[in-house]
Chains A and B, each alone.
Chain A
Amino acid sequence: MSEDLDEAAVTNAISSFSIANQQQHGLSEQQPSGVQLSRHIVSRSSSSKDITSSFQQAAGWLQTGELVKDELFTLFDAVAALEIMDAKMDSGYLEPGEPLEDYYDVLQPLLPEELIGIMDSLLCLQVAWQIGYPLSQTVFASVFVENILWPEPRTLKEATFRSRGTVAPNLSLCQQILRVYCLLLIKSCDFIYRRISEETYYEEEDFFTQLYNRPLLTVFPSEQISLLAVKLLETLDTDTSIPQVQREAIISRLKVQYCFLDAVQDTLESILEAGKPLWEKLLDQLQPVQDSHKLGKSIPGTISSKLQRRIASSVPPRPVVELSFPSAIEFMKRLCKNGSLLGEITKCDDLSALVMFVSFFQAQHPQPTTYMRCQLQRLILHKFSYLEEPSLSVTGRHKIYEEVTRLVYPDTQLAIAAEADSIGPVDELTRDKQELTAAMHRFAVIVHKPLWIYVRTLTMNRSRTRRMLCHTAIEWDVVQLELEDLDADIRQYTSERPLQEQVEELWEYPLSSWAYDIKLRQLISIHQLSVELEIIHKEELSTTYWTLQWICSVRHGHLQRIALFVKARANKLNRPTRVELEAIQTTLLTLQYHTDHTIAIAALAEGLAVVSTIPRKRNPTKPLPKLYHTLTVLNLLSQPRRAPYSSDSLRHLLRTRPFQHILQPSLPASNQEKALKASFYEDLVKTARQIPHNPPRQNLPAHLKEGLALLDHVDSMIKTARKAWDQVARTDVSIARAEACETAWRADIKNIQKSTIAAGLVSSTVRKWIENGAGEGELDVQVEMGHDAGLYHVFWIVPKVKRKA
């Protein structure tokens, strides 16, 4: 039956495209094709045919619901399709009696408390937009903003409220204030919009660039708008028509927009030199606004989702984003703090310092907004312009080579060659030097772009940073390979001799060693971000920390190898200059810092890899058997999850997939990993058996002895971690390259130290349970684990273990 109906509908639809209609609209001549146009189009080169009946016949062969599509029709196309007469898809659809637009007279009398309410709701819209929602569902949903922006004002004078198209002759004081408040707000949006869209790099998920044909007062200089505000503020200073409390509330709101506009219309100089005071000034203004919010009165009708119908959008109105006032204020305060921090970038003298600064800037929670991240990129390119140079300048080469020196302190001949200006003609006498210079130029070319991509990756949103790091690690794997070849080439010009380590000959590989370390740091970051972003499920934490520990141990070995060469070089130096001595000293301290840091991460990760097996129990009333299960079978040996469609090896494969193209280090395969863990466990059992004389453990069953041996291991790891983090904390800030972010750096270490202590507490709590006769009865154990259980540091998920009340 419905098929008949459909056919009838098709016939109706076709007949509505009648020739009469087309003639009426004068379309008959222009229309290239049409159902019944054949009668009108006659030419030598073409002939037309009425296909109505064939079409109907062909359509009749189709089943209802049968999809006719070509190869290129994608799901995306299907999703983009709209359905007429569906309120959520048809932009013109109205419920019976529903008006197309809400009407609100912007010139109706405005009371001070209403003004305050409107100002606060506008602030919420302004913030919601900055968070990442489209203008249509935020700022453009305000009837006041729409009224000012459309029709497009030609002069600033015209940028005012109009009633039915006519500019109001006289605005009341409250209306004047609201107008200027809107102008300041729109203009600040203009700066933010341009900043983000001019920035070479932002992600589509971060920010909507659609302006819906409503320029944000772009043509009007911000000084003129600011001047209006200044004048108004002067008037308000002496005006008594508005009661004082409300007046102050209004003044503080105007000042917020005034200061905000000031802060976002920055030039590079202003961010670097005066940015901080601007944001601090704004921060000061926010408190009185927050305190006086209760004075405001909200007015229905001033925000309308139906305004979206006016802004050239084919989709039906979507709901206006509702952000609470406290969240908006919170956002603005954070913005001020982020903004004040940005200028600190001037303290970054080199790439190591920059990477540190960017990492800590980005690690703030919640993450700095898209606007702030664009500013960050802009400043990076200002201060480290060589990163994006099409061809690397001498300075750029010098700066990049500085990085290598700091970490690996290679033969000084390399440094000389790296900084040599040009290669010049090659002759016999200088051949080696020239070749070396050419090689070092090649080095700079190889690493130049990957370095910039790495830094840029760190400025993205956290989720994307993690995904991009998976790319950059692969890229640096290739860089390392290329540099290994270069290192081998260079040997012939520097007459490098290998170090003899027992029977093995060790070559230095200075350039590729440096690249390898960058890659290892990226791999460490990927795993830490996976924990932070909760991509790692609780049940996988143990494995992830185990992998993290494994990568750190690789890095530790690598750093030791570098140190071996640096020390050998230092010993060989014949009457070194003070500069040389200082440089070597810096390198050794840098290596020490990285070593401490790596040990600290590795030890805490290993401790947690074991500790996080504890909450594996599923039945809280019978924790002992599960604890036993955990301690003996151990997650370290296998994943006990009984997922019907998966297996240890498939899960392992999926987890290591991003790294499968990386040649070095090659993550252990599933069976290798199991073997490693099994041998770890065997060692542990052996240890457990070796302690029968320890009186408190004497009478314990074997599995609990093993459990205690495991906790002994956790304790020793935690002890190592604590020592190493203390060591890291004692590092000179200049060696850590954290001058530009010292506060954040110190706070970060402190939080990790707290995590370390907490992990130790878990171990001692479980130990007490076991030692106090756990073998006899049930344990009252309560374990919470995960981000929602509260953490000292987002990289470190320490379980919380409590005795049940």
Chain B
Amino acid sequence: MVDTAAGLLGEPLETTDELRYFKYNSTYETIYLPLIRQLISKDLSEPYSIYVYRYFLYQWGDLCFMAFDNEDGLVGVVVSKLEAHRDVPLRGYIAMLAVREEYRGKGIATKLARMTIDAMIEQNADEIALETEVTNLPAMKLYEQLGFLRSKRLHRYYLNGNAAFRFLLLIKEPAAPGHDFFDDDELAEMKHT
């Protein structure tokens, strides 16, 4: 755990007995980024380089939310993006969501997912997508409870050979038909385990 001076983290968005929730702030990149990387790479066998994190955080830092415990330890984080995708004017994409093992089952992941979804909705998102491994039951349950539907199954999507489900959440009714249902280019986008 990195020791950060109290106050350096800025003002929390929300506080509970145990936790404080923050929106990512690039001013504190040097504090946040190592913590985020450490937390996320724990769950990945294929690590992302620092560029991947910066790719998201620099462009869509306002969609990244973090939960800290009372000792300034990072407990959970969500990283997302929001941009045009084919015929969809603004499609959100939840790229990474991680919660420290001992803090799981307390609704922190749901809270973080909701924060990033709310931020995307505020920015006028049309829909939100993400992928999970077909074996990741807790993640699937989390997103399904929020209203996501499985839209596709992607065969051998991850490097470990596992298949993925693509989840989608429509936020708005499309103004006119023309949304492209087929978006397999994302296959290339996020292959990780």
Contacts and interface: CB of A to CB of B under 8 A. Distances in A.
Contacts of B48: 78-79
Contact of B181 (A65, A74, A658): A658
Contact of A206 (B51, B155, B173, B182): B155
Given A81-B52, A540-B149, A463 B154 contact: yes
Contact of B173 (A132, A203, A653): A653
Interface in B96-128: 114, 117, 121
B147 A644 contact: yes
Interface in A62-94: 63-67, 69, 74-76, 78-79, 81-83, 86, 88-89
Interface stretch (A465-473, A491-499, A712-720, A749-757): A465-473
Nearest to A319: B45
Contacts of A88: 45-47
Contacts of B187: 204-205
A150 B174 CA distance: 58
Interface stretch (A29-37, A187-195, A529-537, A620-628): A529-537
A802 interface: no
Nearest to A474: B181
The binding surface of chain B is classed by DSSP as mixed
Contacts of B190: 75, 79
A206 B114 contact: no
Interface in A519-536: 533-536
B13 interface: no
Contact of B55 (A75, A466, A540, A641): A75
Contacts of B51: 78, 81
B49 A82 contact: yes
A643 B189 contact: no
Contacts of B152: 463, 466-467, 535
A735 B188 CA distance: 45
Contacts of B192: 79
A63 B50 CA distance: 15
B86 interface: no
A654 interface: yes
Most chain B beta carbons < 10 A, residue from A76, A79, A88, A540: A79
Nearest to A75: B189
B130 to A, nearest CB: 13
A661 B190 CA distance: 29
Contact of B26 (A63, A318, A646): A63
A537 B49 contact: no
Interface stretch (B4-12, B63-71, B157-165): B157-165
B20 interface: no
A693 to B, nearest CB: 45
Contacts, number: 143
Given A86-B47, A649-B173, A658-B181, A66 B155 contact: no
Contacts of A540: 149
Contacts of B147: 641, 643-646, 650-651
Contact of B156 (A132, A466, A536): A132
A76 B30 CA distance: 24
Interface string A459-499: 00111101100110000000000000000000000000000
A638 to B, nearest CB: 14
Contact of B149 (A133, A203, A655): A655
A569 interface: no
Given A82-B49, A461-B155, A653 B170 contact: yes
Contact of B151 (A82, A650, A654): A654
B179 interface: yes
Contacts of B47: 86, 88-89
Contacts of A645: 117, 121, 146-147, 169, 171
B175 to A, nearest CB: 12
A67 B33 CA distance: 14
State the 5 A-B residue pairs at the shortest beta-carbon distance, nearest first: A646-B147, A643-B147, A67-B58, A78-B55, A65-B29
Interface of B: 26, 29-30, 33, 45-52, 54-55, 57-59, 81, 114, 117, 121, 134, 144-157, 159, 161, 163, 165, 168-171, 173-174, 177, 179, 181-182, 184, 187-192
Interface of A: 2, 63-67, 69, 74-76, 78-79, 81-83, 86, 88-89, 131-133, 203-206, 318-319, 321, 461-464, 466-467, 470-471, 533-537, 540, 641, 643-646, 649-651, 653-655, 657-658, 660-661
Given A467-B182, A470-B182, 11 more contacts: A79-B190, A79-B192, A86-B47, A205-B187, A462-B153, A463-B153, A537-B149, A650-B147, A650-B170, A650-B173, A657-B181
